[in-house]
Structure 1
Amino acid sequence: VVEAAEAFDAGAQALRGRRDSRLRVAASMTIAEYLLPRWLVALRAERPGTAVSLSAGNSAAVAQRLLAGEVDLGFVEGLSVPEGLDGTVIGHDRLLVVAAPSHPWARRRTPLSPAELAVAPLILRERGSGTRQVLDSALSESGGLAEPLLELASTTAVKAAAVSGAGPAVLSELAVTEELASRRLVEIPVAEVPLQRDLRAVWPQSHRPTGPARDLLSLTRRGPGV
């Protein structure tokens, strides 16, 4: 009986070890591209034996994967915690209206009004993205967004289209730091449009992160805020 109990304990510990040696993460595009890499490097230094898989998509897709049990921890951008999930704010972000220097907006001397931004054809992320959610809400009292000039599925694609001169875009400040510094893009001031958003870690309700997921969550709270 003692041997059987010891074997059971050993087997249970082995199973826990296997679970603790992997971490499945899903993140919205801006967080996946501009924040998670440094967090995962830090996690690897603390947990070198942990295998991490990362999938990137919009905030709605991240929520779906968490609710389906396909990932252990998610990161989203937007106005609120998606239904069925719990979460915590890990940082803040600002959306910017940007355009190539050749665009007429780059030569404006006055900020865009909410009405001007609402009727302008913009290069945008797809519906379901945190960026689109915040922009839809911010312009709801000005008639909502016009039909997009282009609707693209990644931050990188939106940025590339804007840099090429295709039209103005709305992007995370995190995504355009280099392009603004090099003048490949110009920030277009906008008056009275709240374009701030929270960045959140999220997980299924009543399933607080444990093991590597808990450690990664802890790492997001260290160092300079975002």
Structure 2
Amino acid sequence: MPLPPQVTDLTSFDLLLSVARLGSIGQAATEHRISQPAASARLRHLERRLGLTLLQRTPRGSALTPTGALIADWARGVVDAADSLAAAVQTLRSSHESRLAVAASQTIAEYLLPAWLVALRARQPELTVTLQAANSTEVAARLLAGNANLGFVEGPDLPPGLDADTVATDQLTVVVAPAHPWARRRRGITPAELAAAPLVSRESGSGTRRALEAALREHDIDALAAPLLELSSTTAIKHAVAAGSGPAVLSSLAVSTELAAGTLTAVPVNGLALHRLLRAAWPAGRQLTGPARDLHAIAARPERS
């Protein structure tokens, strides 16, 4: 049942209590950080709404009428309860804003998020962050289930129910062991050759694999060969490739060290665009607030893209 309109404006009742305690509309106005004319107008409006005279002028200021004193006594408990409610809400909000749950796809979690989180903790040392690294499909599921405040994904598309924007770009690179035949292909390979080769790859829900499949569809190639190996981590894939098991397609962020050291070799793919967008994602229709908003701002800084 809705509250009667006569009692919904608790600010005016709180102002009345201040007049009762301080004995002056002017002092009450100062306490409430409003002008004296505004305070007088608010109290007159309260009197009209209640249909009662609450204040009377005296040589020393303003005093409550007997009716006003009775109303003030009744209002005191309600205003105190409202103050307690506001304090409880603020405590709960502060507790929520001191924790941040992040879900991120493997490449972002391993190679980008650590620096972003260091920057966030520099701003908010008291913040507790939990990070769940998963493939892009699982990240989306965690966001939709309410198990993460903010997510970061690598895949080319998102399920309904999520909003997203781009925070960085990435380039996929075909890598092989230095002894692999492709390592000697100075002119690179064709998209068809890549699609026909059994790859050491991530599982089907990974953003890297989905981005590769989307790029190949641009060349009317609808399917990859059956994987040579399916491994759950980028590190495991790199070790398998370096050991000579077969080629892989990985983020340039993930293989820069190995390419520089010569333990892996990059193979060009002629005519195949292997860049992708890295995106922040969150439940559709919601605004990012608190630490989630701050982390998003750090990730989206121009120098990071």
Under a length normalisation based on structure 1, what TM-score does the superposition of the two structures give?
A: 0.96
Q: 2:190 aligns with which of 97, 101, 113?
A: 113
Shift of 1:142: 2.8
What SS does the corresponding residue of 1:216 show, helix, strand or coil? helix
* Counterpart residue number, 2:250: 171
What SS does the corresponding residue of 1:213 show, helix, strand or coil? helix
- Amino acid in the other structure paired with 1:24: A
Q: How does 1:42-53 map to 2 (within 5 A)?
A: 42-53=119-130
Shift of 1:136: 1.2
Shift of 1:223: 5.5
Q: How many residues in Structure 1 have an aligned counterpart in Structure 2?
A: 226
Q: How does 1:128-207 map to 2 (within 5 A)?
A: 128-140=205-217, 141-207=220-286
Shift of 1:190: 0.5
- Amino acid in the other structure paired with 1:213: A
In 2, Cα distance between equivalents of 1:14 and 1:28: 32
* Counterpart residue number, 1:39: 116
> Is 2:95 the counterpart of 1:18?
yes
- For residues 143 and 212 of structure 1, do their structure 2 counterparts lie closer, same or farther at Cα, with a shift above 3 Å needed? closer
Q: 1:65 aligns with which of 133, 138, 142?
A: 142
* Counterpart residue number, 2:163: 86
In 1, Cα distance between equivalents of 2:113 and 2:302: 14
- Could you tell me whether the CA contact under 8 Å between 2:105 and 2:134 is conserved in 1? yes
Under a length normalisation based on structure 2, what TM-score does the superposition of the two structures give?
A: 0.72
> Gaps spanning 5+ residues in structure 1: where?
none
* Counterpart residue number, 2:80: 3
What SS does the corresponding residue of 1:167 show, helix, strand or coil? coil
* Counterpart residue number, 1:28: 105
* Counterpart residue number, 1:124: 201
Shift of 1:143: 4.6
* Counterpart residue number, 1:220: 299
Write 1 or 2 for the structure with the bigger share of strand: 1
Q: Which moved more, 1:134-143 or 1:73-82?
A: 134-143
In 1, Cα distance between equivalents of 2:188 and 2:271: 9
Structure number with greater Rg is 2
Shift of 1:6: 1.8
- Amino acid in the other structure paired with 2:128: A
Q: CA RMSD in A?
A: 1.1
Shift of 1:225: 2.9
